[in-house]
Amino acid sequence: MYRRLAIIASFLVIFWMLVACSHAPSGENAEASPAAPSAENAEASPGRSVFASKQTTLPAGTVVTIRLGQSVGSKISSSGDHFSATVAKPVQVGGKTVVPAGAEASGRIVEAVPQGRFKGASVLRLVLESVTVNGEVRDVKTSSVSRSLKGKGKRTATLIGGGAGAGALIGGLAGGGKGALIGAAAGAGAGTAGAAYTGNKEIVLPAESILSFKLTEPITIKM
């Protein structure tokens, strides 16, 4: 009799163990539940990725046209001086504006040589160094825009879009050696000039002059 009761008790213990084991998946689910937010994060991450990917690259060769914020010249400026400017017309990629007109820009005077210091010629050479888009200053590498004016009666000036190596004669002086030089495009628009005033064979680009620079390296801009 006691043996039979022991057998029954054993069966009952085994039965309750089986019942307890049947609840094990719930425990696993409880452990797995924290993974649910991860799945949500995985779904959310593409949204963040898309946001972060809202950027456009301006390829090398893109022309950035600016308007000078102050006068610069072969005599009034020194090599290494910086100048302020604004973007004169929108820079677009695929019909989409990447750098809007009016965006702030800055550049540097690479070379400023007054008349008489270099074989009687005055020289002015500039590069663009940065543009500001959506409050972010982006450094840029561009070809240079150069002007040289030969002395001793030469009434011409040369504008060269550095990097591309294209040059254009931009006119004769008016009014007996003083006046305005009307700019011409050099190499796909790079090096476009505004008015260049000369006095005693010196080159002066007044404020509001329009200059175009060509990117020599691509830049990526967040939109």
- pTM score over 0.75: no
One domain, residues 33 and 94: no
Calpha distance 202→118 (Å, rounded): 12
Query: 178 or 222, which is more confident?
Result: 222
One domain, residues 141 and 43: no
Is the per-residue pLDDT at 193 higher than 50?
no
Reported as a single tens digit per residue, the pLDDT across 135-152 is 999 999 999 999 988 765
Calpha distance 18→8 (Å, rounded): 15
Is the per-residue pLDDT at 215 higher than 60?
yes
- Please give the residue range of the domain that contains residue 120: 56-222
Q: What is the CATH number of the domain that holds 115?
A: 2.40.128.260
Is the per-residue pLDDT at 38 higher than 70?
no
User: Which residues have C-beta within 8 Å of that of residue 207, sequence separation ≥ 6?
Assistant: 68, 69, 70, 71
Reported as a single tens digit per residue, the pLDDT across 68-121 is 999 999 999 999 999 999 999 999 998 999 999 999 999 999 999 998 754 568
Instruction: Work out the number of other CB atoms within 10 angstroms of the CB of residue 126.
Output: 27
User: Which residues have C-beta within 8 Å of that of residue 43, sequence separation ≥ 6?
Assistant: none
What percent of the chain has pLDDT above 90? 46
